[in-house]
Structure 1
Amino acid sequence: MSSMLNSHAALLKNRELLQGRLVLVGLQDSAILGQLPEGGHVVTEHYGVYRSLPAAGPWSPLFGYFDDSNPYGNADTVVVFMPKAKAELGLRLRLAGALLAPSGRLVLVGEKREGVASAVKQLQSLADSTAKVDSARHCQVWLAERMVSQAPLTVADWLTWHSVEVAGVSVEVAGLPGIFSDGRLDEGTRLLLQSLADEPVAGPVLDFACGAGVIGSWLHQWATPRGLAFTVDGIDVQAQAVACAWQSYQRAGAQGQIEPGDGLAGAGRQYATLVTNPPFHRGVRTDTSMTERFLAEAARHLQSGGELRLVANSFLPYERLIRQFVGPCRILAQDNRFTVYSAKRL
């Protein structure tokens, strides 16, 4: 129990609220399922959580908010966990309204530092009755009844577009609530793209933690007028990122496969180049474990002499790991926040 997420522990403390046909939205740790009422659906945007749930069993896993298999209009209780991004909460609450039967109830759980108190305003706009039922483990638990019915979610209703330009190359990038750096180009990726213009890489390329597909789309637009052609595959743990990257690739005409994956296990071949601007948060917590696992596995997915090109906040301890797992490391670019590293597999 001591290692359990606070929000999950708060839900277990109030498990009597969970009645009838149950759906959990935004679960982060499937280990608690054995302590909940038997069975239901789990909607998660995180591919690692999705893969941790057996395909056959009392809990049915659903990957992403736009899965056609979502049990619309059928749930008696929907639990919504607070997401990291405030914009994503609206998506989760709208999904809950579409999942609930007319007499169903919604349970909102989240830590105070995740913004659960301010999120209640959104909840109140979508329900006739809301009440705080508990404060525990730095969390709040809210119960909403008589939710306003919502239509099933579609990607087209939530998709947005914005433009980014680096080194004279412009691309259109898709966005969905909760995706990293939605609506703008983050400065780390900008520095990485500039390094790709200054010191080009070889293909095929894998973009690990590809987000909305910025790197693959930009590389295609940069390479085409130079008579270069190579694929840029993308892999990401988040359902919205996979959907956005596919949309961005389609608009740019970029070549490559976009796949969900938690780490490099889903990468089926070796690449001349691995590029990445990896995440270092899980929810509101700093968590570099995903990148550490990636670096430990990277060499197996690089061709002999292949290159790792990585950008990260300069304070993160990646240079030592790159040298340990990939090969000699050099710094290609650096500003007051970010560093671009390059390493060749020996």
Structure 2
Amino acid sequence: MSALPNSHEALLRNRDLLDGAVGLIGVTDPGLLPMLGEGGLAMSEHAGVYAALSRMPGWQACFGYDDPGLHAKSCDTLVVFLPKARAELDLRLALALWLARAGARLVLVGEKKEGIAGAVKQLRARLPDAGKVDSARHCQVWSADVAEPATEFRLADWLDWTSVVHAGVSIDVAGLPGIFSLGELDEGTALLLDSLARVPVNAERVLDFACGAGVIGSWLQRWQQQSGQVPARVDGVDVQSQAVICARATYERNGCAGGIQASDGLSGVQGKWPAIITNPPFHTGVRTDTSMTERFLREVAAHLEPGGELRLVANTFLPYEELIRRHVGSVERLEQTRRFTVYRALRR
């Protein structure tokens, strides 16, 4: 059995803090659950982790911050794991305080290298009496009592909007804490959009893999419309709950067509498309991690129609070109800067 993340090991050292109905917010390894006792609630915003949590006996799994299984004043102990995006911690704390019953205990766990020291300031802004109860496994464990639970938690209150303008096309993009490139157009996506304008994708249906907040799909449809073309339907898939929520909101605001679904890679995706476009992630927390994209490239041909196109942008130093050639077909570089490259391949 693989070792648990340090934060999960640190919680196990302090399992005596867990009384009554337990809620885990942001759990990343389902292997923790059988070690904690009879059960409780476990929430993850990662579709793959959620699927694994769903198979754990005695535990109620929830996907993201809008899961219908989340109910006010339902937990006696809330464990909040430190997220990789600091802004998301406030969201997790707000959810925890809404889930908490009066007198509940809130436990914050996180690694030192991921910023637990700064996170404590966010915790104490809400619960000033929070105190450290342990320091182990390169982590800190903090605890506080919840005297007054939050009276409401509305995810819509956390949603914000940014106007993104590129190549004369303007779209409104939804944002939530923890989402990639919140409030801005990242350099890689901008280069991908340039390639779509210079060398259009010839397809009535497109899949946007790792769609994030829906920037690529909504921009492409708006650009096609402004160019006098019939906009393609752009479906989207992403592993993160916030991304799915934001992409749906972005599509609705911009009048775009396409279905948005959650999936860990392409494992939950059915069907084939004449074109697939993507700006895939290559980080897990603070580490470079290309495993998700490598798995995508091994599986993508099964979701491309014969002769279908893959359009992918990635950091130039990442070793994707040979993988694309091996699993999809002949590959060319449509755009390249010092940092990013846009690859185009046709399924053999």
Contact 2:33–2:56 (8 Å) recurs in 1: no
Q: Describe the SS at the equivalent of 1:259.
A: strand
Contact 1:128–1:147 (8 Å) recurs in 2: no
Matched with 1:303 is 305
Structure 2 Cα separation of the partners of residues 101 and 55 of structure 1: 27
Q: Describe the SS at the equivalent of 2:230.
A: coil
**Does structure 1 residue 201 correspond to structure 2 residue 215?**
no
Q: Partner letter of residue 224 of structure 2?
A: A
Post-superposition offset of 1:2: 6.2
Post-superposition offset of 1:240: 0.5
Post-superposition offset of 1:260: 0.6
Matched with 1:343 is 345
| TM-score normalised by structure 2 residue count | 0.96
Q: Describe the SS at the equivalent of 1:113.
A: coil
**Does structure 1 residue 170 correspond to structure 2 residue 175?**
no
Contact 1:97–1:147 (8 Å) recurs in 2: no
Closer/same/farther in 2, CA of residues 199 and 211 from structure 1, 3 Å limit: same
Q: Describe the SS at the equivalent of 2:224.
A: helix
Contact 1:303–1:345 (8 Å) recurs in 2: yes
Post-superposition offset of 1:317: 1.3
Residues 254-310 of structure 1: per-residue CA shift (max 9 Å, x gap): 110000111112222111111111111122222211111110000000011111111
Matched with 1:100 is 100
Contact 1:135–1:141 (8 Å) recurs in 2: yes
Alignment of 1:25-40 (within 5 A): 25-40=25-40
Post-superposition offset of 1:56: 7.5
Post-superposition offset of 1:128: 4.3
Contact 2:222–2:231 (8 Å) recurs in 1: no
Residues 101-135 of structure 1: per-residue CA shift (max 9 Å, x gap): 10100111111111111110111111142111111
Structure 2 Cα separation of the partners of residues 148 and 88 of structure 1: 22
Matched with 1:323 is 325
Matched with 2:283 is 281
Q: Describe the SS at the equivalent of 1:114.
A: coil
Post-superposition offset of 1:147: 5.0
Structure 2 Cα separation of the partners of residues 148 and 312 of structure 1: 47
Post-superposition offset of 1:318: 1.1
Q: Describe the SS at the equivalent of 2:293.
A: helix
Identical residues among aligned pairs (%) = 57
Structure 2 Cα separation of the partners of residues 199 and 3 of structure 1: 47
Closer/same/farther in 2, CA of residues 148 and 114 from structure 1, 3 Å limit: farther
Alignment of 1:131-146 (within 5 A): 131-146=131-146
Post-superposition offset of 1:148: 4.3
* Structure 1 stretches lacking a partner, 5+ long: none
Q: Describe the SS at the equivalent of 1:125.
A: helix
Contact 1:18–1:37 (8 Å) recurs in 2: no
Matched with 2:292 is 290
Structure 2 Cα separation of the partners of residues 223 and 30 of structure 1: 43
Instruction: Give the number of aligned pairs.
Output: 346
* Alignment equivalent of 2:316, drawn from 314, 317, 328: 314
Matched with 2:182 is 182
Residues 226-261 of structure 1: per-residue CA shift (max 9 Å, x gap): 222321000001111000000000011111000011
Q: Describe the SS at the equivalent of 1:67.
A: coil
Post-superposition offset of 1:55: 6.0
Contact 1:271–1:301 (8 Å) recurs in 2: yes
Structure 1 Cα separation of the partners of residues 259 and 319 of structure 2: 30
Matched with 2:61 is 61
Q: Partner letter of residue 211 of structure 2?
A: C
Q: Describe the SS at the equivalent of 1:305.
A: strand
Structure 1 Cα separation of the partners of residues 30 and 208 of structure 2: 28
**Does structure 1 residue 89 correspond to structure 2 residue 89?**
yes
Structure 2 Cα separation of the partners of residues 158 and 147 of structure 1: 24
Post-superposition offset of 1:320: 1.5
Post-superposition offset of 1:5: 1.1
Q: Partner letter of residue 132 of structure 1?
A: K
Kindly report the root-mean-square deviation, in angstroms, between the aligned alpha carbons of the 2 structures.
1.4
Post-superposition offset of 1:202: 2.4
Structure 2 Cα separation of the partners of residues 135 and 303 of structure 1: 53
Contact 2:100–2:146 (8 Å) recurs in 1: no
Structure 2 Cα separation of the partners of residues 230 and 40 of structure 1: 44
Matched with 1:42 is 42
Post-superposition offset of 1:167: 1.6
The runs of 4+ residues in structure 1 deviating greater than 6 Å are none
Post-superposition offset of 1:13: 1.5
**Does structure 1 residue 72 correspond to structure 2 residue 80?**
no
Q: Describe the SS at the equivalent of 2:295.
A: helix
Closer/same/farther in 2, CA of residues 38 and 345 from structure 1, 3 Å limit: same
Residues 156-180 of structure 1: per-residue CA shift (max 9 Å, x gap): 2011011112221111100001000
**Does structure 1 residue 252 correspond to structure 2 residue 254?**
yes
